[in-house]
Amino acid sequence: MRTTQLTRAAGVFLVLPLYIIGLTGGVASAAELVGRAVLPADTFAVGPTSGQFIDPANGRVPPFVRRQPVQGFSSVLRAKDGDFLVMCDNGFGAKANSADYVLAVYRISPDFTTASTGTGTIGVTLAFNLSDPHRRITFPIVADGATYPGSTIAVDEAIREGRLLTGADFDIESFRQAPDGTFWFGDEFGPFLLHTDAHGRLLSAPIPLPGVQAPDNPLRGSTPPNLPSSKGFEGMAITPSGRFLYPMLEGALTTDPDQRRLIINQFDLKTRVYTGRQFFYHLDVVGNAIGDLTAVGERTFLVIERDNNQGAAALFKKVFLVDFDKVDAAGFLVKREVADLLNLADPDDIGGTGTGLFTFPFVTIESVIPLGRQTIGVLNDNNYPFSMGRTPGVPDNNEFILIRLDSPLPFEGHGRDDKDDDSHGGGHRR
């Protein structure tokens, strides 16, 4: 199986080949797959040994010595020159098993397979790791200890010396770039907002959501949690004007009698405080979760909603459009389906199934990005090495697909053309 390894030389990470053995509101007509690129599951960056606290899965045996899996893509942004920035989550899915996974953002260069061109491959380089060199965090982090929490294994020197943040410190699931070039990350453990410079260095202490505390919140003390574990900030949008962030909880508060109600909070980037303004999203069924929230305009947003199944068991993986000015009689945002990810038309056989249909049957699908009035990009979180939505017993790859919608999105306020971005629909090459 082909894999990619990132090697550092003179401060620059290079991509080297490595070979390892081993509605609500209306129903959309079939959206169409128009591009696809794949990053192999076994793609690693050189770094601290990882996976020391997980069990073997899908034929992969940890630990991954001096390597970090490039996986868990949970948010995507445009970068310069046609590239994208993708943010990895906390690593292996839990606070207890991810202390040796370093939080990271990567730059990817997809060459999409389309009807006429493209190799379907993705180039990748490390953009930055998250760190706290100025000690903005007010509670102990992994880098402060001699050994990883609950173990006798010494914390890697690079983590300690660089005060690198790990998946036991925060579970980041979303990020956005502000007009000043800094980044904001949404975390699930607090839930917290994290503010970093362009190199991933924390600029301030984590900002909690007033009145909400998850079980893993390190500042909770004896206060009972009112949010389930791993249900913090999953999606987070930034408005085109750059004025507001809208972090969105993945799950309902435990105190809410309606377990389908998810809260979107408004955060003012000018004053850097929550305004108290909230919007309410209603899941189709109890047990579903959202994967992402991203802006189309100042008041319009795309939402990924999914079930917790994968492969043949997957039943619900959809993208909806919501408008803050369109609320139903119960006070919930009206949802308009724009894409069913389990039922995408594929007349050009870009997905290679030969059936004219393409599915995205992954348990966690956590990134959506508008690329034009009628084109969106969607990426999965492959949960390496655990998820196996494509092939039983084989860890999922990182997939990036382009979807042409059957009707235009209501773009406004983006400062760019309303036409589709053909530079991506036609396959990107560097």
What whole-number distance in Å separates Cα of residue 298 and Cα of residue 292? 17
Q: What is the mean pLDDT of residues 388-410?
A: 97
pLDDT at 60 over 50: yes
Q: Does position 107 have pLDDT exceeding 90, yes or no?
A: yes
- Strand 192-196 to strand 207-208: parallel, antiparallel, or no bridges (unpaired)? antiparallel
CB 70 within 8 Å of CB 85: no
Q: What is the average pLDDT across 300-312?
A: 98
Residue 136 or residue 1, greater confidence: 136
Give the model confidence (pLDDT) of 335-394 as tens digits. Answer: 999 999 999 999 999 999 999 999 999 999 999 999 999 999 999 999 999 999 999 999
What is the distance between the alpha carbons of residues 420 and 34, in angstroms, rounded to a whole number? 12
Are 43 and 69 in contact by the 8 Å Cβ rule? The answer is yes
Whole-number pLDDT of residue 220:
94
On the question of pLDDT at 187 being above 70, the answer is: yes
Does position 58 have pLDDT exceeding 80, yes or no?
Answer: yes
Q: How confident is the model at residue 82 (pLDDT cuts 50, 70, 90)?
A: confident
Task: Identify the pLDDT of residue 30.
Answer: 80
The answer to whether residue 15 scores a pLDDT higher than 60 is no
Q: 57 pLDDT exceeds 50? A: yes
pLDDT at residue 347 in the model: 97
Both tokens of 309, joined, read 């199944």
Angle at 389 between CA 282 and CA 361, to 5 degrees: 45
* Mean pLDDT (the chain, rounded): 91
Question: 251 and 228 in contact (C-beta within 8 Å)?
Answer: yes
Q: Which amino acid is at 360?
A: F
The amino acid present at 327, given as its one-letter code, is: V
Q: Give residue 279's Cα distance to chain centre.
A: 21
Give the CA-trace dihedral at 204, 205, 209, 212, to 10 degrees. Answer: 170
3-state SS string for the chain: CEEEEEEEECCEEEEEEEECCCCCCCCCCCCEEEEEEEECCCCEEECCCECCCCCCECCECCCECCEEECCCEEEEEECHHHCEEEEECCCCCCCCCCCCCECEEEEEEEECECCCCCCCEEEEEEEEECECCCCCCCCCCHHHCCECCCCCCECCHHHHHHCECECCCCCEEEEEECCCCCEEEEECCCCEEEEECCCCEECCCCEECCCCCCCCCCCCCCCCCCCCCCCCEEEEEECCCCCEEEEEECCCCCCCCCCCEEEEEEEECCCCEEEEEEEEEECCCCCCEEEEEEECCCCEEEEEEECCCCHHHCCCEEEEEEEEEEECCCCCEEEEEEEECCCEECCCCCCCCCCCEECCCCCEEEEEEECCCCEEEEEEECCCCCCCCCCCCCCCCEEEEEEECCCCCCCCCCCCCCCCCHHHHCCCCC
Decide if pLDDT at 3 tops 90.
Answer: no
Range with the poorest average pLDDT among 12-21, 71-80, 316-325, 396-405: 12-21
Average pLDDT over every residue of 84-102: 97
Dihedral sign of CA atoms 397, 400, 402, 406 in order: positive
The predicted structure's pLDDT at residue 412: 66
**Reported confidence tier of residue 19, pLDDT bands at 50, 70, 90:** very low
Q: How large is the average pLDDT for residues 3-11?
A: 39
Banded model confidence at residue 11, pLDDT cuts 50, 70, 90:
very low
> How is the chain split into domains, by residue range?
28-425
Res 6 pLDDT > 80:
no
Distances (CA, A) of 122 to 59, 85, 203: 23, 12, 31
* CATH number given to 28-425: 2.115.10
Q: pLDDT over 70 for what percent of the chain?
A: 89
pLDDT digits (tens, 9 = 90+) for 419-430: 555 445 444 333
Read off the pLDDT of residues 140-176 as tens digits, 9 standing for 90 and up: 999 999 999 999 999 999 999 999 999 999 999 999 9
pLDDT of residue 25: 42
Residue 184 has pLDDT above 50, yes or no: yes
Q: What are the C-alpha distances in Å from 109 to residues 359, 374, 400, 425? A: 23, 21, 11, 13
Which tokens hold the place of 335?
């949802």
Q: Tell me how many degrees the CA angle 232-290-281 measures, rounded to the nearest 5.
A: 90
Q: pLDDT tens digits, residue range 227-250? A: 999 999 999 999 999 999 999 999
Question: What per-residue confidence (pLDDT) applies to 411?
Answer: 78
If you average pLDDT over residues 117-128, what whole number do you get? 98
Six token digits for residue 262: 């998810």
Check whether 5 has a pLDDT greater than 90: no
pLDDT for res 2: 38
Tell me, what's the pLDDT at 81? Answer: 85
Q: How confident is the model at residue 7 (pLDDT cuts 50, 70, 90)?
A: very low
pLDDT given for residue 290 in this prediction:
98
